Amino acid sequence: MNRTNVRIVTIAGIVAVVTFLHFLTSSRYVYYHIFFRHLYYLPVLLASFWFGIKGGLATCASVALLYPVYILMQDATWSWTPGNFERLMEMVVFLTVAFLLGALRDREKARQKALRESEALAAMGRAMAAVAHDMKTPLIAIGGFTSQVRKEFKEPDPEYQKLGIVVRETSRLENMVKSMLDFSRPLSLDLRQSDLNSLIGESVSMIEESAQQHKIAVQMELAPEVPMVSLDRMRMEQALINLGVNAVQACPEGETVTLRSFVEGKHAVVEVSDRGFGIPPEKKEEIFRPFFTTKKGGTGLGLCIVKKIIDAHEGLLEIRSDVGKGSTFRVSLSLVGPRPIRKESAPEPKTSSTE
């Protein structure tokens, strides 16, 4: 039996024991029943602490169903007496305690999870920065020298084809190194009031070539009333291009990728939708983890970089996906704009003595 099951059995056991104590004790012993009633706080507190709001409220609901059975068995003609009103108010207190403690527990768990993820990403970023820096110079040398040697051969020559593969794969590794450096470096935003619709248009023009290669149509649905938004235009364009390219690659031939903009409350919203195969529910959280990818040849860093850019803008990145119908990535940016943040540039990692 795992720890979760042990906790559930413990809570259920305490509720059952307290309830049986009520039934086994004569109603003449009022003080005993008052004591037993207050024992119900123990399972409610444990459930809220162990399982958050849902656990606390579920336990409270169990108590609220079991205890009135005892009351009705003792007095079938229930009436609004001060004693019964007190019992009813105590049920309200049970609910309040379960909700508040559960909410605090859920918030603390979320904070601890975010802290662990932040520390893990920071450590991973430092490691990737060191690796990428050491890889950058050799890759440039390999690509450059291979291109020079390739010029000595002609198209039909098998060596020409082999060297072409070396150049292509070296270029892919260079792009991976660039992504690793982009992920590892802290962002310093150059915030300016920008036209979000024009930014979307520029991003679409950058992904059209990829869309044509995959035989995918790209369309825009832009609301004309979207106001100017404070953002780093270059960084946000990078994020939208990444989302657009991912959407194109997720679609089968002949389908359509849609980029739309609109205002929702105090936020400007950009949605990038595809009509691909969708993302299974169990994969939705994993897609933002570094190096997780379902694409052949993918680095697994594109969506991590997108999230980093949106987070730096104090925006919200959400995903809505139906398996077999497609996915929508939703970017919400405050119309008030993020607070200006100045960040020190990341120090270049030390190179080895053999470089």
**Taking residues 107-123, what's their average pLDDT?**
74
Read off the pLDDT band of 354 (50, 70, 90). very low
Between 111 and 247, the more confident residue is: 247
**Taking residues 222-228, what's their average pLDDT?**
90
Nearest one of 327, 347, 339 to 271, comparing CA atoms: 327
Which residue has 């609220």 as its token pair? 64
How far apart, in whole angstroms, are the C-alpha atoms of residue 127 and residue 121?
10
Residues 319-345: tens digit of each pLDDT: 888 887 889 999 999 987 665 554 444
The answer to whether 278 and 267 are in contact (CB under 8 A) is: no
53-67 burial code (b ≥16 CB/10 A, e <16): bebbbbbbebbbebb
Sign of torsion over alpha carbons 294, 296, 298, 303: negative
Q: Is the pLDDT of residue 355 over 60?
A: no
CATH class of 192-334: alpha beta
Residues 6+ apart with CB under 8 A from 124: 290
Sequential DSSP letters for 161-218: HHHHHHHHHHHHHHHHHHHHHHHHSPP----EEE-HHHHHHHHHHHHHHHHHHTT-EE
The pLDDT value given to residue 25 = 84
How far apart, in whole angstroms, are the C-alpha atoms of residue 47 and residue 64?
15
Sign of torsion over alpha carbons 239, 300, 326, 204: positive
**Taking residues 306-313, what's their average pLDDT?**
87
Q: What percent of the chain has pLDDT over 90?
A: 16
Between 226 and 294, the more confident residue is: 226
For residue 103, give the amino acid letter: A
Residues 6-52: tens digit of each pLDDT: 888 998 999 889 888 888 888 778 788 788 888 888 888 888 888 88
228: how many CB neighbours lie within 10 A of its CB? 13
Of the candidate ranges 83-97, 135-149, 208-222, the one whose mean pLDDT is the lowest: 83-97
Instruction: Using DSSP, state whether 13 is helix, strand or coil.
Output: helix
How far apart, in whole angstroms, are the C-alpha atoms of residue 132 and residue 349?
10
The pLDDT value given to residue 98 = 80
Residues 46-81: tens digit of each pLDDT: 888 888 888 888 888 888 777 766 666 655 555 556
The answer to whether 43 and 82 are in contact (CB under 8 A) is: no
The DSSP secondary-structure symbol of 325 reads T
How far apart, in whole angstroms, are the C-alpha atoms of residue 95 and residue 57?
7
The answer to whether 124 and 290 are in contact (CB under 8 A) is: yes
The answer to whether 275 and 217 are in contact (CB under 8 A) is: no
Domain ranges of the chain: 1-185, 192-334
Read off the pLDDT band of 174 (50, 70, 90). confident
The pLDDT value given to residue 120 = 66
The pLDDT value given to residue 353 = 33
Read off the pLDDT band of 217 (50, 70, 90). very high
